[in-house]
Amino acid sequence: MVHALVRPAEFADHEQLSDLLYSETRLHRHLDWRPPLDWLGNRFFWTLKEEGQITAALASPVEVPGVAWVRLFVYAGRWTADQAWNLLWGIAREEMRNTQRTVVAAIAMQPWFQNLLAASGFQSRQQIVMLEWQGKAPAAHEASGVRIRRMESSDLPEVEKVDASSFDPLWRNSGETLRRALAQAWLATVAEDEEGRLVGYQISTTGALRVHLARLAVHSSAQRRGIGKALLSHLFGRLAAHGIFRLTVNTQSDNEASLHLYHRMGFVRTGEAYPVYTFDLPATS
């Protein structure tokens, strides 16, 4: 009988994990600014080893306090999905429970992973819905007293504050994530008010024949002043200048304010939607 051992991932596991990710299609990978193996060295990254060989892995590091996204789940063909998941999740659940109250979340893009999460007690919380803009923009919009300019690395501490003010903890970005997002951006801009305070931002990335609006946020104290519209209008102008007339964005199905803004600015739903599952882990007393 082969002995299976669940243990924390180590930097020395990089090569084996890289081979596993490359060779296996049985893979959940979080939509992220960071590749999965960048999380090596962080707490809550486990491997399943048999006779010295890694055959499954689960990473669910805590980036924002109290929130842990399932960044990676992969398993080799010798396991079924539920066998590998139950071995890894069983250890993960108990170790995470010994820290603080944590919400473990996952965007489940594949039906097999959705079934796995549901069977493990995860609750379907909402959906991520995709929208697309194809060049039909409303008239250019400027918010009174607001200036749009390119984002600089020195802006990131204030950008993080805007992000934290705009989103529920589940959806907040850490300073490190925002730093990586800026480094990968096609266009990143900020909105400043008359006193020079940063009140909004957007980060867009580029892909095949399209740009993706990865993040749009307005500080809670500055909402309903047209700042989101101004950031989008400025982005539309830059797209047109580059001959690009396709822009995608995703948002939460229950984020009515966001959906209303995008619909007003000419976005339409594509029909793509992915469920978000969460598991509430209360800390042990």
Q: The pTM is what?
A: 0.91
Residues 191, 150: Cα–Cα separation, whole Å: 9
User: CA-CA distance, 249 to 269, in Å (whole number)?
Assistant: 9
Tens-digit pLDDT profile for residues 101-146: 899 999 999 999 999 999 999 999 999 999 999 888 776 677 788 9
pLDDT (tens digit, 9 = 90+) per residue, 171-187?
999 999 999 999 999 99
The conformation of residue 39, written as its DSSP 8-state character, comes to G
Tokens of 174: 């850490």
Q: pLDDT band for position 2 (50/70/90)?
A: low
| Distance separating alpha carbons of residues 47 and 43, to the nearest angstrom | 12
Residue 61 pLDDT > 90: yes
